[in-house]
Chains A and B, each alone.
Chain A
Amino acid sequence: MTNEPVDVLIIGAGASGAAIAWSLLETRMRILCLEQGEHLQDRDFPSRREDYELSRYGEFSCDPNVRKLKQDYPVNSQNSCITPVNWNGVGGSTINFLGHWPRMKPSDFRTRSLDGVAEDWPVDYATLEPFYDLNDENTGVSGLGGNPGYPDYSPPLPPIPIGKLGQTLAKGFNELGWHWWPSDVAILSQDRDGRQKCVNAGTCDLGCAAGAKGGTNFTYWPVLENAGVELRTRSRVREILIDQETGFATGVLYHGADGQLHEQKAELVVVACNGVGTPRLLLNSKSQLFPDGLANRSGLVGKNLMFHPLTGVAGVFDEPMLGHEGPMACSILSQEFYETDRSRDFVRGYGLHSGRSTTPMTYALGGYGIDNPIPWGAEHREIMDTVYPYLAGLTVVSEDLPEEINCVTLDPELTDSDGIPAPKINYRLGENTRRMLRHGEEKATELLLAAGAKRVLAKGDDKVWWRAGWHQMGTCRMGDDPEKSVVNGWGRSHDVKNLFIVDGSIFVTSGAVNPTSTIQALALYIGDRIKTNIANLFD
């Protein structure tokens, strides 16, 4: 390992770090990526092991506070109704994400203009569209073209099976005249580029050993490493360094695999640590020039944290729904209630996602992301025998509006294994979200009954899934006004001209869709702008 200066230093080897590295390959700049976790091989994934389900509650939990691996940082979520979940390693959270791949919609980028809430983005759907297409091609996205919910586009691969569960629900949607469509997924429906098509094992959250799921460990990183991008694992960045005279980033301090603290110099620093990790790093990078944290003259680093609060409704049908056969999260998606309708008591909207059902153990323990086991005793027997096999469910995925009260700060006491302060989450549901979720529960119930469910199991309370913090957005948002945003319209810090942020933290609003396709499209767009502006990049 050398610490020779590099042209581009990317912090984080997940969805966005990999995408921007790929975009910058053609510049022939020397690119180094520092990643705090390991580079797991496919044989290491639990999806090849017979005891795979148990790992969901241990070393392969989505919750870093459960995993407690060396590369994980703890998260203080005591003041939050949702806890962030992630994976730290090459691929980032694309290792254990579920591969659902909807795009944001044109209106998502214009919420201020259209609906009078939040802020408009400095980019729009049309600008990002070619980068969505490019990323879909690089990732190997499966889906059905012609979705009336979007301007016309076609995923490169045919859809994965929607299965008996999806077909049953689709008929219910048609009965009610509501929108639905087979989900776009970052999961292969055909063999491609040495990756095996999906085998419908339902183990997407445990690392896809077949390579069917489009984690960047299988998509971008093999290309990047072949092209000479240096990937330095077990390297946790502690602080971004700043020249106090020029105000430019000079590189980073990081804890290496050898346990030592190193300095790595770079001409350009790209932060790709997600909506919690990125503000954490910036807030921990204090200096005389930036006493409140790096790139934080707006005071907005860490503010406006958005998740996608979720709730679920399940129907019990006459026949087994076979929901355990196929990718966990992806069958069909309805966006009937996605756009603002002034007749409702909330603005913006939500999606109804048909999650497939899960395995017996996970169901008995309360479901994926939920710690609320079903009853023991005779009632347990009854539920597992006569409910579990017959379930088809819908997840209500709501748009979260940005509020400064929802934020990431540094915990004054809790630290990771290198002594770096842990993030502390302050988050609560807004009233608009609560109303949206109630509406979603009602509509999901209506749909399930229309699809033939004999009874419907709804929680009927205001609680959302605890481990729903996959989508971490908004904490370093982009914008044209330096007073109201952290980075400009192409990801460059307003305050530090050679510092870029490319992950979900730069989202201005959350939409009501899984964000990874948009995160990567944005990263490719930012890479493109860097290349276009290369001659006067730091002006």
Chain B
Amino acid sequence: MLTDENQVLFLKVLDEIIPAGGVRRMPSAGVKAVAESVLSATAYSPDAPGTVERLLEAVSTRSPGFSELSSDDRVTVLKAVEMEQPRDFAELVRLTYMAYYSRPEIRPLLGVGEHPVHPHGYVVEHESETLMDELTAPVRARGAAYRQA
């Protein structure tokens, strides 16, 4: 369980791991739902809460005013923490990606269906026989492509 202060700090850290913006105007990972998912991801990382707490402590120690820094300065701090605690940091990145891309509202922004699970999936048209004939004609024209044995 994070303190109120650390909850704010954690969201700021997540904001930099997956920042908002870009050509697709994506939201950042710094939202409560992602933070909670990371902290509760013990099925995928048994020490997930400990990993987060150790990193937040490192961030606070290195930069007590982290939340007030510019984005560029926060990234500088996080890169220093990453150098100091590479395993914990890599684990946080992994869990953040898992939590962020689990959110159904994120996937359509990247052109992927919200919930493509069975029994719905995606509609993909079968190529016509004519198209397949055209595409494979050059391959067939070259003849057998294996060795007799």
Please list the residues of chain B having a beta carbon within 8 angstroms of any beta carbon in chain A: 16-19, 21-24, 26, 43-44, 75, 78, 90, 93-94, 96-98, 101-102, 104, 106-107, 110-113, 115-127, 131-132, 135-136, 138-140, 142-149
Using A144-B136, A179-B139, A381-B18 as known contacts, say yes or no to A107 and B126 having CB atoms under 8 A apart: no
Q: What would be 24 A-B contacts, judged by CB atoms less than 8 Å apart?
A: A54-B98, A105-B147, A106-B147, A107-B146, A124-B149, A144-B132, A148-B140, A148-B144, A158-B126, A159-B127, A174-B138, A181-B139, A199-B121, A320-B111, A325-B124, A339-B147, A360-B106, A361-B101, A365-B94, A373-B90, A376-B18, A377-B16, A377-B75, A385-B24
Q: Which residues of B sit under 8 angstroms from A110, Cβ to Cβ?
A: 149
- Contacts A149-B146, A326-B124 known; A49 to B132 CB distance under 8 Å? no
Q: A369 at interface (Cβ–Cβ under 8 A)?
A: no
Interface size on A, residues (CB 8 A): 80
What is the minimal beta-carbon distance from B140 to any residue of chain A, in angstroms?
A: 6
For A127-163 the 0/1 string (1 means CB < 8 A from B) is 0000000000000000010101111000000111111
With a cutoff of 8 Å between Cβ atoms, the chain A residues found around residue B18 in the complex are: 376, 380-381
B147 & A114 in contact (Cβ 8 Å cutoff): yes
Q: Which residues of A contact B125 (CB under 8 A)?
A: 161
CB atoms of B122 and A199 under 8 A apart: yes
A174 near B118: Cβ-Cβ < 8 Å:
no
- The total of interchain contacts (Cβ-Cβ below 8 angstroms) comes to 186
Q: Kindly list the 6 A-B residue pairs having the minimum CB-CB distance in the complex, ordered from nearest.
A: A199-B121, A361-B101, A201-B121, A106-B149, A209-B118, A325-B122
Q: Is the CB of A359 within 8 A of B101?
A: yes
Please name the residue on chain B nearest to A326 by beta carbon. Answer: B124
Which of the residues B16, B44, B118 comes within 8 Å of A199, measured between beta carbons? Answer: B118
The answer, among B23, B115, B135, for a CB contact under 8 Å with A50, is B115
Residues of chain A contacted by B43 (CB below 8 angstroms): 58-59
Q: Are A125 and B24 closer than 8 Å at their CB atoms?
A: no
CB distance from B44 to the nearest CB of A (A): 5
Most B-side CB within 10 Å, residue of A50, A151, A198, A335: A50
Tell me if A50 and B117 are in contact (CB < 8 A). Answer: yes
A365 touching B119 by the CB < 8 A rule? Answer: no
Q: Which residues of A contact B118 (CB under 8 A)?
A: 45, 47-48, 199, 201, 203, 208-210
For the complex, what is the distance from the CA of A500 to the CA of B118, rounded to whole Å? 39
Q: Roughly how many angstroms separate A418 CA and B34 CA in the complex, as a whole number?
A: 39
Task: Please determine whether A57 and B44 come into contact, CB atoms closer than 8 angstroms.
Answer: yes
| Contact partner, B120, options A199, A373, A385, Cβ 8 Å | A199
Instruction: For A209, list chain B residues within 8 Å (CB).
Output: 118-119
CB-nearest residue of chain A to B138: A174
**A97 contacts the other chain (Cβ, under 8 Å)?**
no
Minimum C-beta distance from A230 to chain B (A) = 30
Q: Considering the complex, give the chain B residue whose CB is closest to the CB of A189.
A: B126
Cβ-defined partner of A324 (8 Å) among B90, B101, B104, B112? B112
CB distance from B147 to the nearest CB of A (A): 4
For the complex, is A200 an interface residue (Cβ under 8 Å from B)? yes
Contact A167/B102 with A58-B44, A150-B146 known, Cβ cut-off 8 Å: no
Q: Which of B16, B112, B121 sits near A360, CB closer than 8 Å? A: B112
Q: Could you tell me the distance between the alpha carbons of A53 and B120 in the complex, rounded to whole angstroms?
A: 16
Hey, which chain A residues are within 8 Å of B44, CB to CB? 54, 57-58
Q: Is A170 an interface residue (CB 8 A)?
A: yes
Q: Name A346-403 residues within 8 Å CB distance of B.
A: 359-361, 364-365, 373, 376-378, 380-382, 384-386, 388-389
Complex Cα distance, B113 from A173, in Å, reads: 30
Q: Is the CB of B135 within 8 A of A174?
A: yes
Q: Are B143 and A148 in contact (CB under 8 A)?
A: yes
Closest to B96 in A: A376
Is the CB–CB distance between A380 and B145 below 8 Å? no
User: Contact: B142 with A179, CB < 8 Å?
Assistant: yes
Tell me the smallest distance from the CB of A107 to a CB of chain B, in Å. Answer: 4
Q: Is A51 an interface residue (CB 8 A)?
A: yes
Cβ of A377 and Cβ of B119 under 8 Å apart? no
A298 on the interface (CB 8 Å rule)? no
Most chain B beta-carbon contacts within 10 A, residue among A150, A160, A200, A210 = A200
Known: A148-B139, A339-B146, A386-B23. A365 touches B127 (CB 8 A): no
**Do A49 and B117 have beta carbons less than 8 Å apart?**
yes
Question: How far is it, in angstroms, between the C-alpha of A56 and the C-alpha of B138 when the chains are bound?
Answer: 39
Residue of A nearest to B90 (CB): A373
Q: Give chain B residues whose Cβ lies under 8 Å from the Cβ of A325.
A: 122, 124
- CB-CB under 8 A for A57 and B135, given A158-B126, A179-B145, A380-B17: no
- Contact A364 B101, beta carbon cutoff 8 Å: yes
A251 on the B face (CB < 8 A)? no
A200 touches B149 (CB 8 A): no
Chain B residues lying within 8 Å of A385, measured Cβ to Cβ, are 22-24, 26, 110
B132 in contact with A159 (CB, 8 Å): yes
List residues of chain A with CB within 8 A of the CB of B117: 47-50, 52, 201, 203
Q: How distant is the Cα of A388 from the Cα of B75 in the complex, in angstroms?
A: 23
Q: Which of A50, A107, A174, A381 contacts B19 (CB 8 A)?
A: A381
Complex Cα spacing A512 to B117, Å: 32
Sample of 7 more A-B contacts, CB < 8 Å, known A338-B146, A359-B112, A377-B75:
A105-B147, A160-B126, A162-B127, A201-B120, A376-B16, A377-B78, A385-B22
* Docked pose: A184 CA to B138 CA in angstroms: 19
In whole Å, how far is A215's beta carbon from the nearest beta carbon of chain B? Answer: 14
Q: Which residues of B contact A167 (CB under 8 A)?
A: 127, 131, 135
Question: Are B104 and A50 in contact (CB-based, < 8 A)?
Answer: yes
- C-alpha spacing A292/B75, complex, angstroms: 58
Q: Is the CB of A389 within 8 A of B22?
A: no
